[in-house]
Structure 1
Amino acid sequence: MIVDDDPLVRAGLAMMLDGAGGITVVAEAADGDAAVGAVDAHAPDLVLMDIRMPSVDGLTATRRLRARRQPPEVIVLTTFDTDENILRALRAGAGGFLLKDTPPAEIVAAVHRVAAGEPTLSPSITRKLMDRVSTDADSYERARGAFAGLSEREHEVALAVARGRTNAEIAAELLMSVATVKAHVSHVLTKLGLGNRTQIALLAHDAGLT
């Protein structure tokens, strides 16, 4: 589903994505409030979400959608790449953050990847997160305390996830099956109270582990 208040942007994205293999645009919405209702009606696997929209903004809508029992994946697609927007989107549960000037082929690839449970960020966004240094001592202590509750194996898997490794890469590095990796990732998410792999990476960053 595509959520953007600009009908030309929605039309362009719909044309591009419908022409890509394995992707079908099932719905569109012009703001975050309409997006929530459209998800109820169409049950999309993934939502491309703009940030600045009338009524309910994209960050609020992302948080509401990701709080559901069976939430769709969300990629925030925007022109605004401020640190605050990036972090709010990822902490709200977005599995990706892309800029609208991202080449079409990369947007298509990101949709496939996030739909498969793998986070994705524009290269410039990744650099911003890598350059960001947390100065919040409380956040650091909370993050360190959260990771302290993991088993040694879960800690290893969580750090590999935070470094952007896929399940297959983690399995090869830690000498375990992909199924075992998936189980560990699920346990990590539950213990840390997180919604996706990107949030594991953010928490690891706050804890000074990456």
Structure 2
Amino acid sequence: MEVIKINDFNHHTLSESNIIRRILSGEKELFEILLRRNNQKLYRVIRGYLTDAAEIEDIMQNTHLKAYEKLYQFKHNASYSTWLIRIGINEALARLKTKSKLYHLNTPQQLNSNSILEQPDTTQLNPESRIIRQETQQLLENAIDKLDSKYKTVYILKEVEGMTIKDIAICLDISTANTKVRLHRAKHMLKDKLFEVTTNVDIFQFGFSKCDQLTAQTMAIILKN
């Protein structure tokens, strides 16, 4: 059997089906590959429902652990990320239900004072370009934050993560037609001046340090058992 070292966990040539098969065969340390490949996407999805940093990471960890526990139920007719996102959305909705209140968006001022966004590396930009980029990112994030969560989630999955309408529909358990309607309404509700930056993948970053920390915590729980 091929041996994979810890340092090889970011090796992108390993197929998803092979990783899952080997995890189910007992190589549970390989689950770290799935963690790292999906942390950013999962973060952005959960961020569409909640804004508190600690709460988001708690739900992310619960989602990964639940996915690990139920991995034997995974069907390969869809991607692992689609299946994982579905679990994450259910976890977020369950948390909101437990709190017995509707999801309330923070104002831009509240978001700025308690930022959960890890800024991308802008060291190669001159000061003026760096400021413009940061302000543009914040402007877009504030606009997206004002969307209702059902529109926000569709928008992030399609315009930021580049997922297909079909996969988004599976994640949200809605029809493709409904998915298209939500995406159209989300775009319509955003300011026209923001359309130029809708492909900016720097928004809602779950940076390397946060990814490492969450991955280490989750794997510690998995390997302990």
What TM-score comes out, normalization by structure 2 length?
0.33
User: When you count strand as a share of all residues, which structure comes out higher?
Assistant: 1
The one of the two structures with greater contact order (alpha-carbon pairs below 8 A, sep at least 6) is 2
User: When you count helix as a share of all residues, which structure comes out higher?
Assistant: 2
What TM-score comes out, normalization by structure 1 length?
0.35
Q: Of the two, which has the highest radius of gyration?
A: 2
